[in-house]
Amino acid sequence: MRYLVTGAAGFIGSHLVERLLAEGHSVVGIDGFVDNYERELKESHLALYAKHPQFEFVEDFIERLDLNAVLDGVERVVHLAALPGVRSSWGSSFEDYASHNVYATQRLLESALHSGVTRFVYASSSSVYGDAADLPMREDARERPHSPYGVTKLAAEHLARLYHRNYGLATVSLRFFTVYGPRQRPDMATQRFLTAARDGTPIMLFGDGEQTRDFTFVADTVEAMVRAAERGHEGAVYNVGGGSTVTVNQLIEAIEEVSGSRLQVDRQGAQRGDVRDTCADTTRARADLDFAPTTPLREGLERQWQHILASAKPDTQKT
């Protein structure tokens, strides 16, 4: 199969590209090196497969590319490119969120109509739910995003559904829940906390730490994407959770155990856009995709810790 993976130099995209190449697929990757974190880090991801004979790379924003040329011969699209991050989506940055997350998705969907694409998997987010009235979160619950980022992820998910309903494009949306693991984005809690444990620097804890997240190991997220591309029901939306819902305080304790060091905690106020709790009901993904997460939090943290220890230079942080 020939896949297009957008966001191929990013955290999740880099793991997906490795998996697809290992399975013998050919992959064309797009990445525009958006400056949400260091280009150097994204280049280090790309370097893992840049020379693979079955991999081609196109560097630009989806908004500017000749997508008909890129989609030539592509059968399956996994659309991961987006400006991520809940807390940084306020104010003037929203223009970039709207362009990279909404406009880029519409352009890609439109071009996919005129190509040989048989499956279009869109990387959605638990942020579409907002502060849900009922936990665990089910796909048929009313979406009420709590951040501008969540609004853009929901808008793009709606676009995917519209292109399915109106044109019959075989779209599948996966709502990921706080993905962690090696190569995680430097702005995310687990990467920040493990890096601080290595470097002996303080961490920032937002709010009281009793907020919960359904942390999902990246290999489990990749497994769900592969299954969705193969057999996801057309037009469907699936939660992809890790089955490891813990509080941020419990995450800190687990990181202290894994790293063998005590974290210095600098307490900050709760952040605008952060929801209190996330927890995925994965019944639908189990039924249609036969998907179940397999990596417990402790094991996933250990793998991310080993990767951080092996990294040459401390990752810089961006608020």
Cα distances from 175 to residues 9, 241, 277, in angstroms, run 20, 8, 15
> What are the phi and psi torsion angles at 255 (to 5°)?
-70, -35
Q: Which amino acid is at 112?
A: A
Give the residue closest to ligand NAD by C-beta. 10
What, of ligand UGA, ligand NAD, none, does residue 88 touch, CB below 5 to 8 Å by kind? none
117 contacts ligand NAD (rule: CB under 6 A):
no
From ligand NAD, ligand UGA, none, which one binds at residue 250 (CB under 5 to 8 Å depending on kind)? none
Q: Which is nearer to ligand NAD, 12 or 275 (CB)?
A: 12
Cross-sheet strand order for the sheet of 76-79: 55-59, 26-31, 2-6, 76-79, 119-125, 171-176, 237-240
Residue 160, contacted partner among ligand NAD, ligand UGA, none, CB below 5-8 A by kind: none
3-state secondary structure string across 196-243: HHHHCCCEEEECCCCCEEEEEEHHHHHHHHHHHHHHCCCCCEEEECCC
According to the binding rule CB under 6 A, does residue 84 interact with ligand UGA?
yes
Out of 2, 36, 112, 315, name the contact with ligand NAD by CB under 6 A.
36
Q: Does 11 contact ligand NAD by CB under 6 A?
A: yes
- Binding-site member from 126, 195, 245, 295 for ligand UGA (CB under 6 A): 126
Residue 31 binds which of ligand NAD, ligand UGA, none (CB < 5-8 A, kind-dependent):
ligand NAD
Whats the size of the chain, residue-wise?
A: 319
- Where helices occur in the chain by DSSP H, the ranges are 11-22, 39-46, 67-70, 94-97, 104-113, 148-167, 189-199, 218-231, 248-259, 283-289, 297-310
Site string for ligand NAD, 151-180 (x = CB under 6 A): --x----------------------x-xx-
122 is catalytic: no
Q: Reduced to 3 states, what is the DSSP secondary structure of residue 80?
A: coil
What is the smallest separation between the CB atom of 100 and ligand NAD, expressed in angstroms?
Answer: 4
List of residues contacting ligand UGA (CB under 6 A): 84-86, 125-127, 176-178, 188-190, 192, 204-206, 211, 213, 248, 271, 274, 278
Q: Which residues are catalytic?
A: 149
